[in-house]
Amino acid sequence: MDATLDLDARNAVTDSSVDRAAVARTLVEPDAFSILYRKYGSDVYRYCYRRLEDREAAEDVTSHIFMSAFAALPTLGDRPFRPWLFAIARNAMIDRYRRRGPVEMPFAALDDRADSAVSPEEIAIDRENATAIRRLFDQLSERDRQIVELRLAGLTGLEVAAAMQCSHAVVRTAQHRAFGKIRALLAEAESKGHRA
């Protein structure tokens, strides 16, 4: 096992024992769920925001995810909490897209920048880059895109595998394939740009 996988496994064991204690406490004392919310709320929000690109929508979906997790907590059993939570988040995002379909939203968050020194040119470049990244992600298969998004949300490969209900080998292969495709698409775009 390489050092990265070993570190992932050790961190997962530590987090999972802390999470198990918080889950057990929540089952007896429901207010203790706030411990899990404080620990994972921002990670889930970032995952949702990356998918929705809308602050209010991401906040709403994050709230829904945690309400669903709280309601289903007695069914968790021996499974690790974090991958289970992100499986709920992933399913919530899939359900949202099924109901409404992907919605092209302006990058309102870029307009709300606190730094007044940011020039309009920098904002335009940021928007252009974000649009380019979204186009790259759109060219990935749904499964590969979801795996990359979960990794970007901070989940380890093992946690992504648990959230996606697949093997760690499948996650590694899909991640490798997705990043390879992204690199190829970037190289292709760059070569077209130089020819123009």
Give the residue extent of every domain in the chain.
3-102+120-195
Highest CATH level, class, for 3-102+120-195: mainly alpha
pLDDT at 34: 92
pLDDT at 105: 47
pLDDT at 118: 58
pLDDT at 194: 56
pLDDT at 85: 94
In the chain (196 residues long), the average pLDDT of successive 10-residue segments reads 48 70 91 92 91 88 93 90 92 83 49 55 68 78 86 86 90 88 82 63
pTM: 0.62
pLDDT at 119: 62
pLDDT at 111: 53
The residue type found at 162 is: A
Ordered alpha helix ranges (H), the chain: 3-28, 33-52, 55-72, 81-100, 108-111, 120-138, 142-152, 157-164, 168-195
- What span, in angstroms and rounded, lies between the C-alpha atoms of 143 and 115? 37
